[in-house]
Structures are given as C-alpha cells and as structure tokens.
Amino acid sequence: MEMTYTETLVVTHCWCGIALAIPSNLHAHAKERRNFAVYCPVGHQFIYSRSYEERLEQERLEHRATRDLLAHEEKSHAATRGHLTRQRKRAQAGVCPCCNRTFQQLARHMKSQHPDFRPEETPA
C-alpha cells in the first residue's frame, strides 16, 4: 500500500521511549494547550509540559519578585530603625515627645504633665 502525505511531521518521544511522528499542527496544538494528551502507538498517553526554558524563566521571575520584596522590607526596616534612633536621642536630650519642650527632669515632667502617655502611640 502506498500513501502520499503532504503535511509536515514532527518527531517526538513518548515517556516510554518510543519515537513517533505526529503532524506539526497537532504538535503545536498539544504544546499550546498544556493539558492536551497525545497517544503513542503502544497506547501510552503523554502530555506536553512546560519546557526547561519556560520553567527557568518562571523561576527567575519569582526570584526577582522575592528580591524586590526583600529590598523593600529592608528599606522599611531601616526607616523604622532611624525613626526610633531619633526618638531615643531626643528623649536622652530631655525633649518631651508630647510638647517638644526640653526639661532637665524629663521623667518627672512626663509623670506629672502627661500621665496617660503611651510611647507606642507617638505620631511618626
């Protein structure tokens, strides 16, 4: 028997190791639709998954996003640390965090003038 075929065939391999030729449009369709199954002559079903390059690019994107988030968190942490350092130095210098006046005995002033003061509620 003789057969004339005018389409292009793509040689691919099943997971069992058998090489098979499938039409190029079927090959393109299977690669495009990640859950589309192709069957080998033995009857095994195989599904095309993402290529190594696609998986590597996805990993790179995730890594870059994680790095960007980490950089943002580090900047935020540094800003908070700087704010706390400034507040501590002002308190050591005797500056009241509520009325911004300087006192020799800041602890006595805070106790008498601002008894309900909570440091965690200090405005930024």
More confident position, 85 or 97: 85
In the predicted model, what is the mean pLDDT of the chain?
Answer: 86
Q: Quote the pLDDT of residue 65.
A: 96
Amino acid at 92: Q
Q: Quote the pLDDT of residue 123.
A: 55
Whole-prediction pTM value? 0.47
Cα dihedral 74, 75, 80, 86 sign: positive
More confident position, 83 or 33: 83
The answer to whether 19 and 11 have CB atoms below 8 angstroms apart is: yes
List alpha helices for the chain, DSSP H. 24-32, 52-92, 106-113
Could you give the percent of the chain with pLDDT greater than 70?
95
Could you give the percent of the chain with pLDDT greater than 90?
32
Q: Quote the pLDDT of residue 121.
A: 61
Buried-state track 6-32, b at ≥16 Cβ within 10 A, e below 16: eeeeeebebeeeeebebeeeebeebee
Report which of 24, 32, 59 is spatially closest to residue 48, judged by C-alpha positions: 32
Q: How far is CA 69 from the centre of its chain?
A: 7
Q: What is the pLDDT of residues 47-73, one digit of tens each?
A: 877 777 888 999 999 999 999 999 999
Find the farthest-apart pair of alpha carbons in the chain and give their distance in angstroms, rounded. Answer: 109
The answer to whether 66 and 85 have CB atoms below 8 angstroms apart is: no
More confident position, 61 or 35: 61
